[in-house]
Homo-oligomer: A and B are copies of this chain.
Amino acid sequence: MVDRTVKNSYPVHMARPRSFDEKQVLDAIRDQFWDAGYAETSLEDLMRVSGLGKGSLYAAFGDKRQLFLRTLRGYTEESHGYLRRALAETPRALDALRMLIESPVDDPAGTRRGCLMANSTCELGNHDQDVLDHAHRTYETSTALIADCVARAQREGDLPADADPIALARALLAAQQGLVFMSRTGMDTETLLATARSLAAQLLPDPSGD
């Protein structure tokens, strides 16, 4: 009997090794789902973008739905990683919050594929409880991360100290998601940026006068 529980340990009789990089494959598949949505992505699409055969995909990741959920989890973890880093590394927390609101504008026209989590919630939320639960947890986590940043901005004197950080975080998140939506409808970049700035100005009042 061999211990296979050690992370990254190979099975005893390691035979033919995988010919693909798991992360590369998952990234390509995530982009495919992101571009086309779940229903509109066929297994043939997944084979094409991953370069793998059906059997390999099934053996490595299970069926289409499992594969989708996996890429979705990977996406939200990665997004929260970015968010965490941006909120933590920006010298002034207020700037991080402004960047958050303006981030939907960066999605260059032509792509405009929005947020994979939001898209998935819209497409599948009504009949897939797993997706819905995941969306709920994701938004809770995002809210908490943003609230921490709001609190820091308050400590730094850039936001009124009497505001409720969590409530403000929810308002900011709603505004950001709304902007992602508008972006998807094909609104031109300038108008989108102006709307983002306008929302930022009203939701992030600057008591010091900058």
Contacts and interface: CB of A to CB of B under 8 A. Distances in A.
Interface of A: 35-37, 39-40, 113-114, 118-119, 121-127, 132-133, 135-136, 138-139, 167-168, 170-171, 173-179, 181-182, 184-187, 191, 194-195, 198-199, 202-203, 205
A93 to B, nearest CB: 18
A118 to B, nearest CB: 6
Contacts of A133: 186
A165 to B, nearest CB: 12
B167 A194 contact: yes
Contacts of A186: 132-133, 135-136
A202 B171 CA distance: 10
B181 A195 contact: no
Given A121-B185, A187-B139, A175 B173 contact: no
Nearest to A205: B202
A124 B113 CA distance: 11
B125 A185 contact: yes
B185 A170 contact: no
Nearest to A168: B198
A170 B191 contact: yes
B126 A181 contact: no
Contact of A185 (B127, B139, B175, B205): B139
Contacts of A40: 39, 126-127
Contact of A174 (B138, B170, B179): B179
A194 B170 CA distance: 9
B167 A178 contact: no
Given A136-B186, A170-B194, 10 more contacts: A36-B127, A39-B39, A39-B123, A114-B122, A139-B185, A167-B198, A173-B182, A174-B175, A175-B175, A177-B181
Given A135-B186, A202-B202, A174 B168 contact: no
A37 B126 contact: yes
